[in-house]
Structure 1
């Protein structure tokens, strides 16, 4: 905390009136709202130097491109602190929940989601064309290594802990490789936001702003669309998801040439790999990090998995073992109960 106060004083030449901690995400960063006079800024303390550099450098690039991201006011990356613009209290998720519990899934929510999905190509294509990928702090591209890591995250942090059926390692590995080989057929020249979901969009004065893209890297267009549309607890109606895909494809084709049939050929494969990464995160954060509330997302994720199973997707022919495991997971009533109890 002291290093945050020092940066604040160095920047504004006053002591803060008050500093309050904000609810964090799945990372180990600490986030604070700093008050002075009639103003506020957000203070970040993070001990991962490379992560901090990625966020600050990507933010500065996006800001130069005119994208709606928080402005960086000051930084001391050697000491793991920086100050950024305060975008307010409302994430897209919280904003939506407040309206939804009162009025249902309204046109206001639908219109906001359209704004968000139609803004995504600004990151992927426009700003992505000039970004310096040397600042990526995990992987430079969402390729075989990244995909393999995500799939084993699912295996090690979720299946081995919660799945009650038999897991034959060699058969699972075969399916992992088949899925990866299939997804690697798609073009990966765009900026992949990596965690494009409802808690990483802030609603300020009725307009969406965007945060938490520090895990970004090169990748395929479909991944971020899948992340937003199949964000588990957001629980979007399936017909609306399909409408948003059409909105996105129309918008992205204003700045890139994207074949709709090719996009959809790979789309649900990216939905699956994103969902498996999310299942791994729910297991890791709830069991290892003791952040039990993350398990609340599991019943919603299982519902999404059931939607995909009901579609009888062609991709399931490539991954028969995973298909069988998925069918076992969606029938496990204990998983639903555990999620509801958190």
Structure 2
């Protein structure tokens, strides 16, 4: 189908059809090239309404002189289309090569803010929001989708305990706060460096099929607070001020309203991004979505230093707690080996590696005699003296751990020799309460005492964390 569209649009036969790597999208892209050097990008979508939204918005934005790809041909089914080829270099590629504080990155970021302000305010009276996908506006329902994404794909996947009803109450309050700030610009929604191509030193916006009516501040937050881009606090402020300077050229821009809504939009954006990283990384196990999680958490920690909305107290407290979890801290802050150890219940799944490195040990403690079968131990854990005495009585748990020590000690020694910074070991049993807790605790104490390495211990089902500092 794409080859037919290429012939229709150019009059030439494509001699090369090359797949273009996907990111977090289910859409598939190809680069089609003819012998005379003509090159177009073809898209095969999975939702006709999403394609229709992109085609409509592309025409609107391109017609207003905003740097977006031009759609040149659409199939009868509207499931495929061809657009202009803007090359292979994204703004993110330039950031990765030169650093987020490079002068060229500053120049391009300023140019992006100029384009964004133009998209927001030049088309205010021209957009038919009923043609947007999947919602016409960033209303309560739209925001709740993102917040529940964060709850189910990140909080629950990481194993963070929370009160479902109190969290839901604050989510609903937060969603209403965003809806109250929704005053009518065309919010592009995923405006970040991976979705901006750079051709001849000019930025082009390529991803806007999810655009809808919403607060302008959300797009600026998406760009400046992108975890992978790694902008410093100073750069984030500079980007925000750049947007304000360009937006001030339009009569509809309200600077006071923008500044008021900005931190709220940063919060919602970061939660949405963590939800996406949780789904793509921790659920689908795609490592490129796991590695930026600590950076996103660090940015959320930065935000919470200055922004503490009083009307969502439970959510605020929960976020303050989880941004300090040892397993979510950026790896680049470590210049020594850190061993992460946890206990868990197999009923709730094996803990996922948040470092992006993969590997590590998972030890099944279920072959060891279970104290949880006896009423007098059911309410206790592997940290209680009665359970410890039961487990150690016949030496079974001691033999088990000696085998564990042999394996893990060898790995720790080799990791230290090779300068590695991360190793994980998980212990599972039926309820994650007795045998696994005992084993994880003892391995942590063993490694700390023998090697003096930093150990970060989590008893997941009890919500207990403990750090053994490097000695």
Whether these two folds match at TM > 0.5 is yes
| Rounded Cα–Cα distance in structure 2 between residues aligned with 1:57 and 1:43 | 16
Runs of 4 or more, structure 1, over 4 Å off, are: none
Tell me if the contact between 2:121 and 2:253 (Cα under 8 Å) persists in the aligned partners.
no
Greater Rg, structure 1 or structure 2? 2
Please state how far the C-alpha of 1:288 moved relative to its aligned partner: 4.1
Distance (whole Å) between structure 2 residues aligned to residue 264 and residue 254 of structure 1: 16
- Tell me if 1:339 matches 2:372: no
In structure 1, distance between residues paired with 2:33 and 2:300: 43
Question: What is the CA–CA distance in structure 2 between the aligned matches of 1:184 and 1:73, rounded to whole Å?
Answer: 35
Q: Distance in 2 between matches of 1:330 and 1:288?
A: 20
SS in 2 for 1:191: strand
1:114 is matched with 110
Supply the RMSD in Å over aligned alpha carbons.
Answer: 1.7
Asked whether 1:160 is paired with 2:173, we answer no
Cα distance change, pair 320–77 in 1 and its aligned pair in 2 (3 A): farther
Equivalent residue of 1:19, what SS? strand
Q: Distance in 1 between matches of 2:85 and 2:124?
A: 24
SS at match of 2:301: helix
Q: Higher RCO, 1 or 2 (CA under 8 Å, sep at least 6)?
A: 1
1:300-340 deviation digits (Å, cap 9, x = unpaired): 101101101222x241x222222222223222232346234
Structure 2 residue 322 is the aligned partner of structure 1 residue 326? no
Structure 1 257/7 Cα, relative in aligned 2: closer, same or farther at 3 Å? closer
When the two structures are aligned, how many residues end up with a matched partner?
334
TM-score by length of 1: 0.92
Cα distance in 2 for partners of 1:172, 1:43 equals 43
Note the alpha carbon deviations across 1:69-111, whole angstroms, 9 max, x for none.
11112111505111111101111111121112xxx72222111
Q: Name the counterpart of 1:14.
A: 12
Q: Which residue of 2 aligns with 1:296?
A: 291
Q: Which residue of 2 aligns with 1:82?
A: 81
Give secondary structure in 2 for the equivalent of 1:43.
Answer: strand
CA 1:181 to 1:10, structure 2 compared with 1: closer, same or farther past 3 Å?
Answer: closer
TM-score normalized by structure 2?
A: 0.68
In 2, distance between residues paired with 1:50 and 1:328? 40
Tell me, yes or no, if the aligned pair for 1:49 and 1:77 is still in contact at 8 Å: no
d(CA) in 1 for partners of 2:97, 2:86: 18
